[in-house]
Structure 1
């Protein structure tokens, strides 16, 4: 579980594992794709090699 600020509904929401649709390892970090409670598809870059923890386009 993690929190995320949705770019569609402009709310900070808790995201549960059941909402995660994919995890992709890249040279820049881990791209996590998930569906917000509002139904919007979102992505987030995370991991040790991530420069920041902002949403990214997948």
Structure 2
């Protein structure tokens, strides 16, 4: 599976509760925090919902 690196670049403050929970479910708890996860359809869907708060990089 392809791995992706997700970095939180904007705060979850003043966002809907659903977006806050999506960030936590992705493993992002602080600004500029990064996680490496496999690019499953579920993860891609979660990233799409918070695309304005995160930066995504594909890993080799």
Normalising by structure 1, we get a TM-score of 0.31
Q: Which has the higher strand share?
A: 1
Structure with greater proportional helix content: 2
| TM-score, normalised via structure 2 length | 0.31
Q: Tell which has more relative contact order, 1 or 2 (C-alpha 8 A, sep 6+).
A: 2
